[in-house]
Amino acid sequence: MPGYPLPLHLTASSFQAVKGVIFDMDGLLLDSETLAMDALAEAGTDLGYDVPLAFCRGMIGMPADTCRQMVHDTYGTDFPLERFFALQEEHLRRYVDSDRLVLKKGVTPLLDLLDRLSLPRAIATSSSRYRTDHHLELVGLLTRFDAIVTRDDVTRGKPNPEPYLTAAEKIGIAPEACLALEDSHNGARAAHAAGIPVIVVPDLLAPTEDVREKALAIVDDLDYVRHWLEQAHA
């Protein structure tokens, strides 16, 4: 379709085989990663620490335990870790409740297409159940998914494949018949490890070489995915 050319290694049949779609949430469905980074930096300032954006970006897509270890390794064991993340949560909630949380480009049209095609869809996110449900409800997406898998629902987070395997199981679709949509490095690695073809829509992080090798395609926004699925089912 004009304006949305398929990569040379893909054909319409690549998307005809898709029986279910699994979405990441932060940075893919919701323009929330920037808010989370701002909240981390503000929490650091509250406590008298400089928490640079580059450091915050290193936590994107990481399990909570890994993020905590990163902070300890950088700022030492005396750093008030629990207070830091509690303040981040307070600031993020304030940002979100003041209407700063918005959808990423192409989200609603893609979900509308999945409705028309009767394709089941799930979310596999590293966020908590509370944050996930709260944010999805605020933007009107909470009821638009057949299953939602959060970090509270698995024992091992991304880049482990467990979140994606759990999501595929919940919608009753074999992993290889699903399509994963991700923005983060660890999310793409998790989907690939689960045996799920993954399209990466970069947000704050440019894809690394290994992510490029693992991805079915790298695209600017979800409109590409919608056009390709629509073309495949025309």
Annotated catalytic residues are: 24, 26
Q: How many CB atoms lie within 10 A of CB 91?
A: 20
Closest by CA position to 196, among listed 137, 122, 118, 87: 122
Q: How many CB atoms lie within 10 A of CB 231?
A: 14
Q: How many CB atoms lie within 10 A of CB 78?
A: 7
Q: Strand locations in 40-152, DSSP E? A: 121-124, 147-149
Place of tokens 């928490």: 51
User: Which run of H or E residues covers position 116?
Assistant: helix 107-117
SS3 228: helix
Backbone angles phi, psi at 7, to 5 degrees: -55, 150
Closest by CA position to 194, among listed 109, 127, 122, 99: 122
Task: List 199's β-bridge partners, or say none.
Answer: 181, 217
Place of tokens 């693992």: 214
